[in-house]
Amino acid sequence: MNTRLQVEHPVTEMITGVDLVEEMIRVAYGEKLRLAQADVKLKGWAVESRIYAEDPTRKFLPSTGRLVTYRPPVEGPYGTAIVRNDTGVFEGGEISIYYDPMIAKLVTWAPTRLEAIETQARALDAFAIDGIRHNILFLATMMGQERWRSGQLSTGYIAEEFPNGFALAAPTGPAAQRMAAVAFAIDHVQNMRKRAISDQMEGWRAVSFEADRVVTLGATRFEGHVSGALDAITINFGDGAAVSVSSGWRSGRPVWQGLVDGVPVAMQVRAVQNGVTLAHAGAYAEARVYTRREAELAAMMPAKAVADTSKTLLCPMPGLVKAIAVTAGQEVKAGEMLCIVEAMKMENVLRAERDVTVSKLNAKEGDSLAVDAVIMEFV
């Protein structure tokens, strides 16, 4: 049988209604194939995303570790569309350095190609994974690209669309407003929960169910007035726009799902100081929620300096050091091999990016290293 058909059988099954694995098992058992080519009818469109334990921001290098969180979207019908998730992993399981880094195949079906893509995008937004790096945001970014949506594809797609590599995108336009609205709503829900705590000190109880708040998404600032109950919150933005938000989300859940102005929306949510991180539609941002005075003070805080790693070689992925090609004190020219790190059945050769002198070796052959572990230092 064609290898591609075996690997991508979920897509074929979704548009034909034929369980290919069952048919292969029956044939292997000696039974006659139960259908002819004329019996195979195509219906609708299917899109498959391979969820991988890899880091797209580091040229798709594999990632290993424990699946601290693994919450795929609910399978089944979504209106006229269908979501299916084929996987063999579980929450608490380990992604090791010894096997292929694929976690799941997320497949969506719909009557039209665009509907299948839109359903795939929402399903990716609702797919929560923690503990390892993964490619969900990269896949969600693709779902929003016009070239992908129009089907103008080639084997050079990634190199052509991301010539400088993939980087997490800051939210813009409608997506930014949706993310800001959800950040306002999450803060409002958490504050209402705090108001319900019993035996609060007199004079300190927060009783107002309305509040003026400021949300920052990176460098973008949104001012808003928040009001309403848990399942019906209204945000009046400073520019005059009013957005309604409705959700059954509660604190601690890794995925926020609900309606923003009546449209179904899903976002990844992780708690940080004074807010949450949000991932939605391929965009990522730290959403800080402040009172107006807190926002004024936060704007005065100095930016944190980025650490200088130009004089170190960091392990780009969790892996095993197979070879060290240099010694302390050795002068190395740009492009020369420094070491080999093995991870997930692949040997990765790490080379010098410029002329350097090795001052110290921090690892030896046979060591198992975590991502960003210092392998050697330079002068």
Task: State the DSSP code for 374.
Answer: E
Q: How far is 294 from 218, CA to CA, in rounded Å? A: 16
Q: Per DSSP, what are the bridge partners of residue 337?
A: 351
Q: With H, G, I as helix, E, B as strand and everything else as coil, classify residue 238.
A: coil
3-state secondary structure 200-232: CCCCCCCCCCEEEEEEEECCEEEEEEEEEECCE
Q: The tokens of 206 are what?
A: 């927060």
Strand partners of residue 288 = 216, 275
The residues that bridge with 223 in the sheet, in sequence order, are 214
Catalytic residue numbers, as ranges: 4
Chain-centroid distance of CA 20 in Å reads 30
Give SS3 for 29.
coil
Bridge partners for 368 per DSSP: 320
d(CA 196, CA 363): 53
User: What Cα–Cα distance (Å) separates residue 69 from each residue in 54, 120, 274, 335?
Assistant: 16, 20, 22, 39
Rounded to the nearest 10°, the torsion over CA 112, 118, 123, 129 is 130
Which strands, in side-by-side order, build the sheet including 337-343? Answer: 346-351, 337-343, 319-324, 368-369
Q: Among 102, 103, 101, 148, which residue's Cα sits nearest to residue 121?
A: 148
